[in-house]
Amino acid sequence: MTELILIIVTAILLVAVALLVVLLTRGSKGADVISLRTHLGALNESAERMERALRGEIAKNREESSVSAKLSREEMNTSLTSFAESFRAQMMDIATLQKNQMDIFANQLGSLTQTNEQKLERIRETVEARLKTLQDDNSQKLEQMRATVDEKLHVTLEQRLGHSFKIVSERLEQVHRGLGEMQTLASGVGDLKKVLSNVKTRGMWGEIQLGNLLEQILAPDQFAKNVPTKLGSNERVDFAVRLPGRDRENGVPLWLPIDAKFPQDYYQKLVEAQEQDNSAIVEEAGRQLETRIKEGAKSIKEKYLDPPRTTDFGIMFLPTEGLYAEVLRRPGLFEKLQREFRVTITGPTTLAALLNSLQMGFQTLAIEKRSSEVWRLLGEVKTEFSRFGEVLDKTHKKLQEASNTIETAAAKSRTIERKLKDVQSLPSQGALDLLGPADEPTAEQKTPDE
């Protein structure tokens, strides 16, 4: 409050000084200046009187505040003393009550502990008796089991040893026969080498291998053997794959010709020359192999390619991976066969991958054709599923009703049990009086002893 009054007085003085400065800067007349000084003096005196009055009022307020604070402290000390005495008395009452309750609880706990010790002693005696009985029974059963296991182990060991010796004898006999078969196989390898030296036999072997690959990957109606793919020609390709083409609607399939070639003699010469490290023979044998491959590709183009009855390219199948790798190794040979003769070279692994790709394409087309049927089937399933949901809701309601009925029956059962507890607690004499004496047995019901 004092600070606020001082701030007001200071503000009045600052305003007066500001007015004086303004008048001086404007160049007022001497009379005005004298009048202004007179007013400022009066203001100064008024401010001093006001300050003295304020200081007296502030001192008076301080004295009153000090007296009021002293009275408040004395009243608060009196209240705190009274509250402390009341709180102390209440705490004494609570402590006495708790001590009485703790004594009662200690007596109950001692009684309960003694009762539990007696019960635990009886339980321990019962458990020890039963454990002793179980140990005796287990000892007898373990002895019986040991005797049985020893007997069966002895019999089983004899049987297993006899069986093992028999298997070893049979395996040794099989090894002996296998050695004889290996000798026969060694002689058969020489015969196979003689067979593969025949050009016609090699071609048949390549055709058989190609047929096996097609049978393993494609369905029987997806390819055909010895097909005349070119119109007006009697030349028949080894195998042809049926493709879904534009002529299929008219009953005429679109064929992909696949022919097997096996220039084994040229490839064998090239391998032998490479083993002998004879560059001249290697170059000559490689040139002969390229010529033979080009002749085979030209034959496929002229005999079997006839778009649109066939695709605009054919496939040459080489039965061995080594021959296929050697053809790929020849610079520019693979691209030249595709560019000039429209023929693609494949080996066993490459052809299998190509056939798998075709099979996936066939399956995709079949899925697209059956998509409308699938959508119709999904619509029927959706309808049936909505019906199933309705039936499921009805079943849920029935089950809820049954559950409510069971809960009602359970509540009634608990009520009956509570009532039967009082009936079971009747003394035996009271039950006899209530139910009456039992009927005497008749002559037919009596036993011979009676």
pLDDT digits (tens, 9 = 90+) for 193-241: 544 444 445 557 778 888 888 888 888 888 888 888 888 888 888 888 8
Q: Which of 307, 317, 318 is nearest to 255 (CA)?
A: 307
The mean-pLDDT minimum among 104-113, 166-175, 294-303 falls in: 166-175
Query: What DSSP designation does 440 have?
Result: P
Among the ranges given (44-53, 66-75, 264-273, 428-437), the one the predictor scored with the smallest mean pLDDT: 428-437
Q: What is the pTM of this model?
A: 0.40
Tokens of 62: 């301080």
Same domain, yes or no, for 332 and 376?
A: no
Do 157 and 264 fall within a single domain? no
Tell whether 414 is covered by a domain. no
- 179 with 293, same domain? no
pLDDT at residue 300 tops 70: yes
Structural domain includes residue 440: no
Asked, for residue 37, whether it belongs to a domain, the answer is: yes
Note the pLDDT of residue 135. Answer: 82
Positive or negative torsion for Cα 420, 424, 425, 427:
positive
Per the CB < 8 A criterion, the answer to whether 256 and 310 are in contact is: yes
- Residue 69 has a pLDDT of 84
Looking at the structure, do residues 356 and 327 belong to the same domain, yes or no? Answer: yes
DSSP assignment of 62-81, as one string? HHHHHHHHHHHHHHHHHHHH
Q: Are residues 349 and 221 part of one domain? A: yes
The residues, ordered by sequence, that sit 6+ positions from 230 with a Cβ below 8 Å of its Cβ are 303, 304, 305, 306, 309, 310
Of 311, 344, 368, the residue that ends a domain is 368
Distance (Å, rounded) from C-alpha 257 to C-alpha 223?
Answer: 10
Q: What is the mean pLDDT of residues 287-296?
A: 87
Predicted local distance difference test score (pLDDT) of residue 447: 43
Residue 337 φ then ψ, to 5°? -65, -40
Q: Is 364 in the same domain as 383?
A: no
Are 259 and 237 in contact, with CB atoms under 8 Å apart?
yes
Q: What is the pLDDT of residues 87-146, one digit of tens each?
A: 888 889 888 888 888 888 888 888 888 888 888 888 888 888 888 888 888 888 888 887
Q: Which of 368, 390, 413 is the last residue of a domain?
A: 368
d(CA 227, CA 248): 16
Tell me the two tokens of residue 7. 């701030």
| 384 and 355 within one domain | no
Which range is most confident: 23-37, 183-197, 286-300? 286-300
pLDDT of residue 210: 83
Letter for the amino acid at 399? Answer: L
**Residue 432: pLDDT band with limits 50, 70, 90:** low
Cα separation values, 122 from 58, 112, 134, 179, 302, Å: 91, 15, 18, 80, 108
Would residue 261 count as lying in a domain?
A: yes
Query: Do 323 and 310 share a structural domain?
Result: yes
pLDDT single digits (tens) 359-377: 777 777 666 666 666 667 7
Instruction: Clarify whether residues 218 and 361 are in a common domain.
Output: yes
- Contacts of 58 by beta carbon, 8 Å cutoff, 6+ apart: 1, 2, 5
Task: Enumerate residues 6+ apart whose C-beta is below 8 A from 310.
Answer: 229, 230, 240, 254, 255, 256, 257, 304
218 and 281 belong to one structural domain: yes
What is the extent of the structural domain holding 377?
A: 370-404
Write down the pLDDT at residue 438.
Answer: 47
Mean pLDDT in residue range 170-179: 74
**Which 3 state secondary structure label does DSSP give 450?**
coil
Q: Which residue has the higher pLDDT, 12 or 247?
A: 12
Q: Is residue 275 part of a domain?
A: yes
On whether residue 189 sits in a domain, the answer given is yes
Q: What is the pLDDT of residue 4?
A: 63
Q: Does some domain include residue 399?
A: yes
pLDDT value, residue 177: 74
pLDDT of residue 197: 47
Question: What would the pLDDT profile of 332-354 be if each residue is shown by its tens digit?
Answer: 888 888 888 888 888 888 888 88
- Least confident segment among 257-261, 374-378, 438-442: 438-442
d(CA 259, CA 343): 10
Residues 222 and 356 in one domain: yes
Structurally, how many domains does the chain consist of? 4
- 282 and 179 fall within a common domain: no
Structure letter (DSSP) for residue 332 = T
Question: What average pLDDT does the segment 5-15 reach?
Answer: 69
Residue 446 has pLDDT above 50, yes or no: no
82, part of any domain: no
- The residue among 368, 388, 423 that closes a domain is 368
pLDDT band, residue 192 (cuts 50/70/90): very low
Query: Residue 131: how many CB atoms within 10 A of its CB?
Result: 10
Residue 387's pLDDT is 73
